[in-house]
């Protein structure tokens, strides 16, 4: 570029030297030699001063700003340290950093929006596909019946049962989808309370015992827990989490047993569900909590799985500021676990309330 720091300094230095010499030449006793020295000195001093100022303080920083903008255009955000723009006195440096930070933030927002858009599209496609399967199946059975199969008593019952099963699957799917979206948009508030998780575990086991027996499996607590273990959580949602985890354990276990257990450590209790089932390959462990992800699609659908059970578990536990962990070995089994904060028993809560009351009474007195 023609207008660089050297040219600008040169032009200004010539002007300053000319003005200084012209001014000095007005003084009668100054000799030509002195005028020449003054011209050279003022030229050299001005040139150096301006050159250094422009080169190091202005042009260099403006050049950096151009570089930043150019790289941003190419979506390269890896070239500058995004330090705090407030810790430098140089306003051009500050502008440069502000531009960089602004660019990085905008780029991140755009990336997030793109990712969300892809996610939304994939989710829509997944939901349509999942809804289509049971609807098509039920439709097929009903139409076959209407086309004449209804007259055959044996076929009639068989097809009606199959249509009913497809509609049941559809019902579970819609129910799970609604639960998931309600949790996500925060429509379902968590109602934290103090309750005995051992008792909840017994209730879940009682509810699923039939299914366990039908598959010839065993289910129970891994140890005897004679005393209650109080936790502070949403009892209804944790019940749902256990139902989902144990239902999965039943679905994906063909022989052996399912154990539910607790480990109390400090102010937390770790709840775990262990099975001796088919296990999950290591590469799928991170993905099983995604909606509609299934390790073995046909097996999950045959057993009535919606592909949303673990996504619901994950969301409920995240709403409790905790998360679900899983350890699994293929053909050996899996352990799903999560932690909850220890709660108070009814007696402890009553005692605390009494103490607070006494404190209030003392204050009033």
Q: Which positions lie near ligand ADP, rule CB under 6 A?
A: 248-249, 251-252, 275, 277-280, 288, 293-296, 300, 305-311, 334
- Nearest Cα neighbor of 193 from 346, 68, 5, 64 is 346
Cα–Cα distance for residue pair 290/329, rounded to 1 Å? 20
Please identify the residue of the shown chain whose CB is closest to the bound ligand ADP: 305
Residue 356 Cβ vs ligand ADP, minimum distance, rounded to whole Å: 43
Nearer Cβ to ligand ADP (5/169): 169
* Minimum CB distance to ligand ADP, residue 310 (Å): 3
The minimum distance between CB 339 and ligand ADP, in angstroms, equals 19
Min CB(281)–ligand ADP separation in Å: 9
Q: Which is nearer to ligand ADP, 121 or 299 (CB)?
A: 299
Considering the complex, state which of residue 46 and residue 244 has its C-beta at the smaller distance from ligand ADP: 244
Pairwise CA distance, residues 147 & 289, whole Å:
42
Nearer to ligand ADP, 9 or 250 (CB): 250
Provide the CA 346 distance to its chain's centre, in angstroms: 36
Shortest spacing between CB 279 and ligand ADP, in angstroms: 6
| Kind and range of the H or E run holding 269 | strand 268-275
Alpha-carbon distance of 79 to 209, in angstroms, equals 61
Nearest CA to 338 out of 276, 277, 269, 287 is that of 269
What is the C-alpha to C-alpha distance for residues 272 and 263, in angstroms, rounded to an integer? Answer: 8
Angstrom CA distances, 283 to 123, 273, 278, 319, stand at 22, 21, 15, 26
Closer Cβ to ligand ADP, 39 or 308, answer by number: 308
What minimum distance in Å lies between the beta carbon of 294 and ligand ADP?
Answer: 3
Q: Which is nearer to ligand ADP, 191 or 299 (CB)?
A: 299
Q: CA 260 to CA 271: how far, in whole Å? A: 7
Q: Of 200 and 248, which CB lies nearer to ligand ADP in the complex structure?
A: 248
How many C-beta neighbours within 10 Å does residue 343 have?
Answer: 21
The minimum distance between CB 301 and ligand ADP, in angstroms, equals 7
Contacts of 303 (CB under 8 A, 6+ apart): 251
How many C-beta atoms surround the C-beta of residue 356 within 10 A? 10
| Min dist. Cβ of residue 192 to ligand ADP (A) | 25
Q: Considering the complex, state which of residue 241 and residue 308 has its C-beta at the smaller distance from ligand ADP.
A: 308
Is residue 338 within 8 Å of residue 317, measured between CB atoms? yes
Chain-centre distance of CA 258, in angstroms?
Answer: 31
């Amino acid at each position: 570029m023609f207008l660089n720091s050297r040219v600008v300094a040169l032009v200004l230095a010539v002007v300053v030297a000319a003005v200084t010499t012209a001014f000095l030449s007005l003084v009668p006793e100054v000799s030509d030699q002195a005028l020449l020295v003054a011209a050279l000195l003022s030229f050299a001093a001005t040139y150096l001063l301006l050159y250094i100022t422009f080169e190091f303080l202005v042009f260099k920083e403006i050049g950096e700003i151009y570089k930043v903008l150019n790289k941003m255009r190419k979506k390269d955000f890896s070239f500058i340290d995004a330090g705090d723009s407030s810790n430098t006195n140089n306003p051009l440096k500050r502008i440069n950093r502000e531009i960089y930070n602004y660019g990085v933030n905008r780029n991140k927002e755009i990336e997030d929006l793109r990712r969300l858009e892809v996610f939304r599209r994939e989710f829509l496609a997944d939901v349509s596909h999942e809804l289509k399967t049971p609807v098509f199946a039920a439709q097929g059975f009903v139409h076959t019946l209407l086309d004449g199969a209804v007259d055959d008593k044996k076929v009639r019952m068989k097809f009606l049962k199959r249509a009913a099963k497809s509609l049941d699957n559809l019902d579970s799917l819609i129910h799970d989808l609604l639960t998931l979206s309600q949790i996500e948009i925060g429509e379902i508030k968590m109602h934290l309370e103090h309750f005995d998780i051992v008792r909840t575990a017994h209730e879940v086991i009682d509810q699923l015992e039939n299914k366990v027996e039908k598959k010839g499996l065993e289910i129970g607590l891994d140890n005897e827990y004679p005393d209650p273990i109080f936790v502070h959580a949403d009892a209804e949602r944790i019940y749902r989490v256990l139902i989902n985890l144990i239902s999965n354990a039943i679905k994906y276990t063909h022989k052996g047993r399912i154990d539910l257990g607790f480990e109390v450590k400090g102010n937390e209790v770790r709840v775990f569900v262990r099975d001796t089932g088919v296990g999950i390959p290591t590469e799928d462990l991170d993905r099983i909590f995604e909606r509609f992800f299934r390790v073995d699609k046909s097996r999950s659908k045959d057993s009535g799985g919606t592909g949303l059970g673990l996504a619901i578990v994950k969301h409920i536990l995240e709403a409790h500021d905790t998360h679900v962990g899983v350890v699994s070995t293929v053909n050996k089994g899996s352990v799903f676990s999560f932690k909850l904060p220890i709660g108070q028993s009814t007696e402890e809560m009553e005692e605390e309330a009494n103490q607070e009351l006494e404190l209030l009474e003392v204050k009033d007195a």
